[in-house]
Amino acid sequence: MSKKKTRNKSGRESDILTFLKKRGPLVVFLFAFLLYANTLGHGYTQDDAIVITENVLTKQGVQGIPDILTKDTFFGFFQQEGKSRLVAGGRYRPLTLMMFAVEYELFGMKPWIGHLMNVLLFGLTAMLVYLLLMRIASPGLKKQAWLFALIGAALFAAHPVHTEAVANIKGRDEIMALLLSLTAFYILFKPKERIGPAPFALSFLAFFAALLSKENSITFLAVVPLAVYLFKGRKVRPALMSVVPLILATGVFLWIRGLVIGWELGDAPRELLNNPFIKVEGNRYVDFTFGEKSATIMYTLGNYIRLLFFPHPLTHDYYPRHIDIMHWGDWKVLLSLAAYLGLIVAAIKGWKKQPLLTYGILFFLITLSIVSNVVFPVGTNMSERFIYMPSLGWAIAVGWMLMKMYPASKRNMYVLVGLILLGFAIKTVVRNTVWKSNYTLFMSDVETSDNSAKLLAACAGELITRAAKMEEGPLKDKQIRDGLDYLDRAQEIHPNYKMSYLLEGNGNYYLEQWEAAIRSYEQVLSFDPANSEGLKNLGITLRDAGRYYGQQAGDLQKSVEYLERAYQLIPTDYETVHSLGVAYGMSGQPGPAVTMLSKGVELQPENAMAHFNLGLAYQRSGDPVSAQKHREIALELDPEILKGRSQ
């Protein structure tokens, strides 16, 4: 290569590096934004129902904010105090709900607004990561701090495990918790040692807002002073002083939280989908042994490390039994343990000479601890959104390891960083497409989480709900039967899964398999006798089964039996009352027929057919006067009612 070409190539490389150095924050913001730009056309998915589409408080707009501030996070969805605390300790995360309420007030039910906000806030987070890493790395890396900050922020922005937090609007709580925690961190980590009144107040407010977004921000009580100690002269006093505003904000938050949802953490729920550390034996729940629980937790912690280094396959669902009951004799559990012991050893060894590596490892371990199921149960084995915050520690540690190649292998480092970012970016953009709708999400992820009772039931729900809107025919029946197959597998994993039996009842109802549907709904009620949806659906199924046996099968005895049971469950349903009255009349019971058809007239006094059939019942019971009266009312309401009927 000629000297001129070498200089030109070197010059272009120098221009690119100069641009990145000057515009690092903007570059990182745009990189993060573009990675998730393909989510802007997506709809609501997964837990968006809990916080937006089916949350009565959010859908009140700004008028719902007072209740949002004074209720458990799940109250607006379940609308009753007891059900809102499905996980131990309850949840108090009002900030993002208030954001959703304001967005609803301004724009209505527009998912693109929620997605746009998520992408913008994620871009701001990546930009703040860059600025913070510049600040903490400057004392050690000096002129190359910008490059470390760029690599670390880009690794964080590109990592595919963040798709659950960013592509799902509900993931706003993860985004805001980290963004606001980093804001407080950045304010406190200033070159000057003294914290003035303004930084003190601003960091207090930022951290308080972070806690209102999600409780795992509390781990910054450790990671902030640790950074001050490691990167600002290793002095204890400044480290302790840096955490004072965060401690005060935490105290205020915990006090408010206690007033709103109580002070008790509570016991873990006795339901498999909200407590993965129980199992079904003899139709009852029993706890894991200590060995089973600790081994399962250790295995899931190892999975987090695997996903950070090799993010494939990804899934939104790690519910039982996607992760099975593990034991300490399993090599995968022992490998996970070895990995964490290795991290601890590396952090200790790097304490003095490699502070960035040490800090990255400890940041990861500290922020992961609160969602690890070690401190307290979080309601599921694991979730990719749980490592949204800890992944920053991974990015710091990996960024430091890549910088170790600089300057001896500068070109190799650029190539390696580029390949990692390219692979991550492609995976992120492709993974985003799965989050377009519940259907695409469930049907894609069930290929990975094929042993999750929750996801199997979710797939069934999507198939059966979609089939219900299809025209009658073999395609509709096949889709319903496919859904029922998913439910069979879900019930093998979780025999007491109430929702699976409810969906099974719906599927059998649409197939007009009346007895099977009735058995499914009765199974729901055996778990929860007051289940309103189970009671209603059972009533409707009994009604339609009764009509089928009366009108098509010619079995009046069975028709009356089913309709009487339906009437006990849905006594104000006109179709049930009217059909039962007709069945009584056809089976030679004029007295009960009059009684029931009279109730039908009370329910729908303007219904011509109700009066006409009541008139017939009166005629058969020997009351021609009443018969004539209702016949005349029927003709007045519908002069054409006698057409096609014998006079």
- For the segment 15-64, what is each residue's pLDDT rounded down to a tens digit? 888 888 889 999 999 999 999 999 999 999 999 999 999 999 999 999 99
Which residues neighbour 446 within 8 Å (Cβ) at sequence distance 6 or greater? 452, 455, 456, 459, 486
Same domain, 473 and 573: no
CATH code of the domain covering residue 467: 1.25.40.10
The pLDDT > 90 percentage for the chain reads 85
On the question of pLDDT at 647 being above 50, the answer is no
Predicted local distance difference test score (pLDDT) of residue 543: 98
Report the pLDDT averaged over residues 264-271: 77
- For the segment 460-482, what is each residue's pLDDT rounded down to a tens digit? 999 999 999 999 999 999 999 99
The mean pLDDT value of the chain amounts to 93
On the question of pLDDT at 13 being above 90, the answer is no
Predicted local distance difference test score (pLDDT) of residue 394: 98
Which of residues 434, 469, 492 is at a domain's end? Answer: 434
Residue 466 lies in a domain: yes
Same domain, 389 and 500: no
By C-alpha distance, which of 57, 68, 64 is closest to 92?
68
- For the segment 506-550, what is each residue's pLDDT rounded down to a tens digit? 999 999 999 999 999 999 999 999 999 999 999 999 999 999 999
Which of residues 499, 529, 559 is at a domain's end? Answer: 529
On the question of pLDDT at 192 being above 90, the answer is no
Same domain, 509 and 586: no
Same domain, 296 and 393: yes
On the question of pLDDT at 267 being above 80, the answer is no
Predicted local distance difference test score (pLDDT) of residue 180: 98
- For the segment 415-456, what is each residue's pLDDT rounded down to a tens digit? 999 999 999 999 999 999 999 999 999 999 999 999 999 999
Give alpha helix (H) positions in 446-573: 453-468, 474-493, 498-510, 514-527, 532-551, 556-569
Residue 62 lies in a domain: no
Radius of gyration of the chain (CA): 31
Residue 227 lies in a domain: no
Residue 402 lies in a domain: yes
Residue 143 lies in a domain: no
On the question of pLDDT at 85 being above 80, the answer is no
Query: Are residues 39 and 432 in contact, defined by beta-carbon separation less than 8 angstroms?
Result: yes
Residue 330 lies in a domain: yes
Residue 601 lies in a domain: yes
Same domain, 428 and 282: yes
The pLDDT > 70 percentage for the chain reads 95
Task: Write phi, then psi, for 353 (nearest 5 degrees).
Answer: -100, -15
By C-alpha distance, which of 204, 28, 240, 224 is closest to 136?
224
Same domain, 470 and 401: no
Same domain, 523 and 598: no
Same domain, 421 and 289: yes
- For the segment 589-609, what is each residue's pLDDT rounded down to a tens digit? 999 999 999 999 999 999 999
Residue 606 lies in a domain: yes
Predicted local distance difference test score (pLDDT) of residue 411: 87
DSSP string, 434-480: HTTSHHHHHHHHTTT-TT-HHHHHHHHHHHHHHHHTSPSSHHHHHHH
* The total number of structural domains that make up the chain: 3
Predicted local distance difference test score (pLDDT) of residue 72: 93
Same domain, 472 and 597: no
Same domain, 426 and 279: yes
Which residues neighbour 374 within 8 Å (Cβ) at sequence distance 6 or greater? 297
Which of residues 399, 434, 469 is at a domain's end? Answer: 434
Residue with token string 């009658």: 472
User: Domain range spanning residue 644?
Assistant: 546-647
Same domain, 381 and 513: no
Same domain, 397 and 487: no
On the question of pLDDT at 505 being above 90, the answer is yes
